[in-house]
Amino acid sequence: MSTAVDLIDAPAALKRRVLRAYGIGDAGTGMASAVVGFYLFVFYTAVAGLPAWLAGTVLMVVRVWDVLSDQLIGWLGDRTGGRWGPRLPWMISSAVPLGLSMTLMWWVPPFADPWRFLWFVAVAAIFQSTYSGVNLPYSALATELTKDEKLRTRLNAYRFTGSVLASLLGLLLGAALSHQGAPGYLQIGLATGLILTFGSVSSALGLAPAAARCKRPSPTHQALIPQLRSLKTNGLFVRVVAMYLLGWGALQLMQPVSIIYLSDALHLPHRWSTFLLIPFQISALAGLWIWNRVAAQRSRLVALQVGGCGWIVFCILALVLPALPVSGNALAAANRGQLLALLVTLVLLGLCAATAYLLSWAFLPDAVDAEPNHPAGLITAFMVQIQKLGSAASVFLLGLMLSWSGYEASLGEAQPDRALVMIRMSMGLIPAGLVMLSLWVMRDWNRVRTRLLPS
C-alpha cells in the first residue's frame, strides 16, 4: 500500500468533498435513529398492540446478538483489504438490506403473539446488524482520514449536522403520517429506508478518493479476544465509552418519553407534541456548531462541561414545568406564559444536548491513537454498540418503569398520578443524573491523555 495521505494536507477541493460526503453519511442513519427513538416505542404500544414491558423487551433482546455482531464486524473491518480500503466495501454492501429492514420494522404482521413479537425481534436484529455494517466503518473513517484534532472535530460537526437535519425530516414525516395509524407508520419506514440506502451509497462514493489513501489499521493483527482484553487498560477508551453510554442513554431516554410527556403530562394536543420536538432538533443543530467553536477555541473538555451543566439545569426545569388545563383551548391567553416557558426549555435542552452527538465522537480518536495497532474499526464497534445499547436499555427501562407506574397508552391524559410522576422523572431527573455521572467520568481526561499520548 502507498504512503497514507492525511486529509489536512489534501487539496482544498478534496477536503470540501470529503466534508460534504461525511455530512451525508450519517443523514440516513441519523434519521433512522431519530424515527426509532421518538416513534418506535409508541408504534409498538399504540399501533402493534404490545404491552409497554414487551415493547421495551424487543430491542433489549436484540442486544444479545449485537454484543457479538458489532465486535465481529469491527474486527473483520480492520482486516478487510482492497484498493478502496477497509471501510467502503462494508458501507456499500450493507446499504440495501439496511433500507429494506428499516421498512419492514414498521409493518404490523397479521399474526398473534408470540409470533408477532418474534417477527419484531428478528427484523430489529437484521436492522441493527446492517446498521452496524454501514455506521461502524463510516464512523471509523473520522479517525483514519486525519490526525488533526480540530479537523476530526469538524468532520464530526458535519456528520451530526447531516444527522440532525435528517432527524428533522424524520420528525416532520412522523408529524404528518403517524396519526394515520399502521399505514402511516409503514410510509415513515419506507421513506426512511430509501434515504438510508441512498445516503449510505452516496457518502461512500464521495469519500472514496480520500478513504482509499488514508491511514489503515496496522497490518500486524492481534486475535479478537486478546485485543478486546487490551482495551481494558486504555484509560481514554474506558472513559469515552462510559461517558457515551451515560450521555447517549440520557438522550435516548428523553426521546421516546418526550411525546408522552408533552401530551399526557403537560396536556398538549398530540399533534402539537410532535411538532414541538422540531425546535429541540433545530437548536441541537445550532448547538453542534456552538460546541465545535468552543472546542476549537478552548477545548473539547470545556465544551463538554459547559454543555453538560446546561443540560442538567434544563432537565430539572422540564421536571417541574406546570401542566396546561386538561380541557380548553391550549392557546388561550392564560396558557401562553406556560407555552413560552416550555418552548424556551425545549430549545435550550436541544442546544445543550448537542454535546451527546458531537463530543463523544470527538474524543474517540484519542482512544484509537493510544492503541499500538490503531484498531479504529474495533474501537468504533464499541461506540456503535454503546449507542445501540443506550437506546435499547433506555427504552427497556422506560417500558418497565411506565408499566410499574400504571401507565396505559389508551388512557391518554387520564393517567394515574404515579404514572405522571414517572413520566416527568424520565424526562427530567433521571437524564440529569446520567449526564452528571458522565461529567464525573471525564473529570480527569486531560491528565490521562497526557500520560498515554505524551506527544
Amino acid at 362: A
In this predicted structure, the answer to whether residue 220 has a pLDDT above a threshold of 60 is: no
pLDDT of residue 227: 62
CATH number for the domain whose boundaries are 14-216+224-452: 1.20.1250.20
> In the numeric block, which cell numbers belong to residue 446?
486531560
Average pLDDT, the chain: 82
Q: Which of 185, 232, 245 shows the shortest CA–CA distance to 44?
A: 185
Say what percent of the chain tops pLDDT 90: 18
pLDDT digits (tens, 9 = 90+) for 60-77: 777 667 767 777 777 777
pLDDT band at 191 (very low <50, low <70, confident <90, very high): very high
Each residue's pLDDT tens digit, 228-267: 666 777 888 889 888 988 888 888 888 778 888 888 888 7
Residue 109, pLDDT > 50, answer yes
The reported pLDDT for the residue numbered 29 is: 83
Q: What is the dihedral of CA 198, 103, 377, 20, to 10 degrees?
A: 30
402-420: pLDDT as tens digits: 888 888 777 767 778 888 8
Higher-confidence residue of 114 and 306: namely: 306
SS3 for 311?
A: helix
Taking CA atoms, 206 is separated from 70, 90, 210, 211, in Å, by: 25, 15, 9, 9
Percent of the chain at pLDDT exceeding 70: 89
pLDDT at 90 over 70: yes
Cβ neighbours, 10 Å, residue 347? 17
d(C-alpha 86, C-alpha 79), whole Å: 7
pLDDT of residue 226: 65
All structural domains of the chain with their residue ranges:
14-216+224-452
Name the DSSP class of 322: P
Task: State how far Cα 288 lies from the chain centre.
Answer: 14
| 368 against 217, higher pLDDT | 368
Answer whether 405's CB lies under 8 Å from 272's CB: no
pLDDT of 136 strictly over 80: yes
Q: What is the DSSP code (8-state) at residue 263?
A: I
Q: How far apart are CA 89 and CA 201, in angstroms?
A: 10
Residue 56 has pLDDT above 60, yes or no: yes
Section 439-443 average pLDDT: 93
pLDDT of the residue at 1: 46
- At 358-406, the pLDDT tens digits run 788 888 888 888 877 777 777 777 777 776 666 667 777 778 888 888 8
Q: Could you give phi then psi for residue 181, rounded to 5 degrees?
A: 80, -145
Inter-residue contact 256 to 407 (CB < 8 Å): no
pLDDT at position 451 is 85
- Cis check for the bond before 256: say yes or no (omega within 30 of 0): no
Confidence at 307, pLDDT banded by 50, 70, 90: very high
pLDDT exceeds cutoff 70 at 140 = yes
pLDDT at 454: 65
Integer Cα distance of 235 and 367 in angstroms: 8
Q: How far apart are CA 422 and CA 145, in angstroms?
A: 45
